[in-house]
Structure 1
Amino acid sequence: MARLFIFGLGYTAKRIAQAASAEGFTVSATGSAGDVDFDDSEAVASALAQAQYVLSSVPPADDTDPVLDRYGDLLGDTWLGYLSSTGVYGDAGGAWVDESSPTGEGCRTARAQCDAHWLEKGARVFRLPGIYGPGRSIFERLDQGRAHRIDLPGQVFSRVHVEDIVRGVMAAIASSAPSGAYNLSDDLPTSQNAVVEEACRLTGSAPPPLQTLDEADLSPMARGFYAENRRVANGKAKRVLGWEPLYPTYREGLKAILEAEL
C-alpha cells in the first residue's frame, strides 16, 4: 500500500490527504490535525522512511524552509511535492507568466528561495495563485463586510479552486510526472472586482463601493496583494499532467461553493 507523508496539514493539504486516502493511500502528516509532531525527529524520520511520496505545504519561516532545514537530508529519492506560490514571479505588469519566467524579483523573496531549493531537491513544485474554496472565498468576506472593490484599472489576478489543486497534485502522483515547476491556476485571470461583483450577483446583494487603495484602508498584507499584476499560464500542467481544471473560471467555482452551502 502506497504511503504519503505530508508536512503541514493545512486548508489545501487536508483535502489532498482526503483524496489520497480515498484512492487507497496510507496518509500520515504533521500539523495540528496530523498524527506526527513536527518536532519529534524520531517519529518524522520513521514516517519518512516508510513513505513513497512526500508533500510539503509548509511556508517559509525566518526566510528559510523549516522542512528542508530540519529534514532535507532524510528525503532521499522519494517522490517529492511542494506547494509554492505564483508570487515567486513578482509583478509582470499584467503580462502572462509561465514556468520559464524569472522568479525571485517580487516581494516574496523567501518563498522564491524555498521554491528554488525544492526544485534542486527534484520536487514537483506546484505554484499556486489565490486559493479559494468552501469556507475560504469571497462569500465569507462579503458576510463579514471585508470585501472591497478597488479602483485599479487593468489590475488582474489568477486564482484556483482548492479542488483543482487536489486534482493537479493527484494527477502528478498518478502520472509519475517529472520533477519541475507546475502552475495550477484557472483559465481566466481577472480583477478582484469582477469576482466580488459575481458573488454579489449570485447572492442578490449590492456590491461594495468602488474605492481607492487609500480609501479602503487595507492592511499591509492586503495592500500588498494589489502591488503585483500578472496572468498565470497553466499550459504545462495541462500538457504534462493531463490536468484540466474542474472550475476553469471563478464563475463556475463560486457557483459550486454557493450551491454546496444551500
Structure 2
Amino acid sequence: MCRHLLILGCGYVGTRLAQACLQRGFRVSGSSRSDTHARHLSQMHIEGVVADQPAKLADDLLASVTHLVDSIPLSMRDSGLVASQADWLPRLTERCSQLRWAAYLSSTGVYGDAAGAWVNEDSMCQPDSQRGQQRLIAEAAWLNSGLPAEVFRLAGIYGPERNIINKLQAGDYKAVQWQPPHASSRIHVDDIVTTLLAAIEKPRPGRILNVADDLPLPHADYVQEVAALIGAPAPLILTPAEGEQYLSAAALSFFRDNKRIDNHRLKHELGISLKYPTFRHAFEKVESSLMSV
C-alpha cells in the first residue's frame, strides 16, 4: 500500500518534510488556508489542498492517508490565541481509516519557565503564556483522540530562509539580557525533518519527545555570537526594562522564559544524530543563507 502523508498547515517545517518524504516514495498532500500557497505546494509536487479547517477536507483524501502531521498554528479569536484541534479532530478520527501514525508539532513553551533548570519530557508543564497553554490543550486533544499520535515539542526553529542574518546585518537587532542570564534552546529545521522521518519508521503512539539541539544558550549570547560569525554589527542588548519599552509582548515572552531542554530521549529512542548539534555547526557553513530564531 502506498504511504500517503498529509501535512496540516504545510508551512516552513512541513514543506521540508514533504520534500523528504517525496524522495522516499510517499504520496504527499499539504493543506493551507491560502490558494496561493496551495498552488506553490503543487508546483513542488505536493498535492496542495485549500481548507480553512481539516474537518472540511474531502472524505476520499482522508480515507487514503496513512501518515499525518499537524503543524497548524494557533488560531486568533476574540479571546486571544486558541488551539482549534478540539473543534475538528473528533470529526477527523473516524474518517482516517488507514492512519498508521500521526504527529502533533508542539512547542517547548508548554513547560513554562524553569528558572534555568534542565527540562525533560517528564517535567511538569506549567505554561505561563496563552500560547503555551493552548499548545498543551492541542497536545491533549491528539493524545486522547484514539489515533496513533505522538507529540513533538520543538525548541526555537532556525534554518534557511529565516531572516536573522538580514536583521543583524541591518544593525538594529535587539535582544534582552537578563540577570542572571535566561537560557533558551533551538533546533535546525533539517534536524526536525530527521526526527520525524525516524519516528515514522519507529512509531510509538502516545510518545512525547523534546526536539532541541545540544546547546541551550541565552538568546542575547546566541545573537552576539552569530553576528560575530557572519561579520554583522553587534546586536543592541537591552535591559529587561528597556525590553518592555522596545519589544512586543510576544518577543519579550520569548526572551523571558528560562529553561534548558534535554534531548536525551530523542536520541535514545530514535537513534538519531543531529546534523547541527549546535547553532555553530550551522552558521559556520552558512555564507548567504538566511537563518532565524
TM-score (norm 1): 0.91
1:38-72: CA deviation from partner (whole Å, max 9, x where unpaired):
24856432222101101110123242324526534
Aligned residue for 1:222? 251
Match of 2:141 among 102, 109, 117: 117
Q: Distance in 2 between matches of 1:42 and 1:82?
A: 19
Query: Is 1:184 equivalent to 2:211 in the alignment?
Result: yes
After superposition, what is the alpha-carbon deviation per residue over 1:172-196, rounded to whole angstroms, capped at 9, x for unaligned?
0022344311111000100112221
Measured on the aligned residues, the alpha-carbon RMSD in Å equals: 2.1
> For the structure 1 residues 72 and 141, does the alpha-carbon distance in structure 2 shift closer, same or farther, using more than 3 Å as the test?
farther
Deviation at 1:237, TM superposition (A): 1.0
- Aligned match of 1:48: 62
Residue pairs, 1:47-126, within 5 angstroms? 47-61=61-75, 62=77, 63-66=82-85, 67-68=88-89, 70-75=91-96, 77-107=99-129, 108-121=132-145, 122-126=148-152
1:246 aligned partner = 275
Aligned residues: 261
State the partner residue of 1:237.
266
Contact 2:216 2:260 in 1 (8 A): yes
Change (3 A) 1:5 1:258: same
| 1:26 Cα deviation after fit | 0.6
2:175 aligned with 1:149: yes
Write the letter of the residue equivalent to 2:183: V
Q: Assess if the C-alpha contact under 8 Å between 2:7 and 2:30 holds in 1.
A: yes
The one-letter amino acid of 1:240's match is E
In structure 2, the gaps of 5 or more residues are 39-47
From the two aligned structures, give the one with the greater strand fraction: 2
1:260 Cα offset (Å):
5.1
Query: In structure 2, what residue type is equivalent to 1:13?
Result: G
Q: Among all aligned residue pairs of Structure 1 and Structure 2, give the percentage whose two residues are the same amino acid.
A: 37
Q: Is the Cα–Cα contact under 8 Å of residues 53 and 78 in structure 1 kept in the other structure?
A: yes
Structure 2 CA distance for partners of 1:178 and 1:212, relative to 1, 3 Å: same
1-structure distance, mates of 2:142, 2:156 = 21
Q: Is the 8 A contact 2:109 2:127 kept in 1?
A: no
Question: Match of 1:251, as an amino acid?
Answer: R
Runs (4 or more) in structure 1 with deviation over 4 Å come to 39-43
| Pairwise CA distance, 1:146 | 4.8
Of 186, 197, 202, the residue aligned with 2:229 is: 202
Any stretches of 5+ residues in structure 1 without a counterpart? none
- Mean Cα displacement is larger for which, 97-106 or 68-77? 68-77
Cα deviations across residues 155-179 of structure 1 (Å, max 9, x unaligned)?
1100000000000000100223443
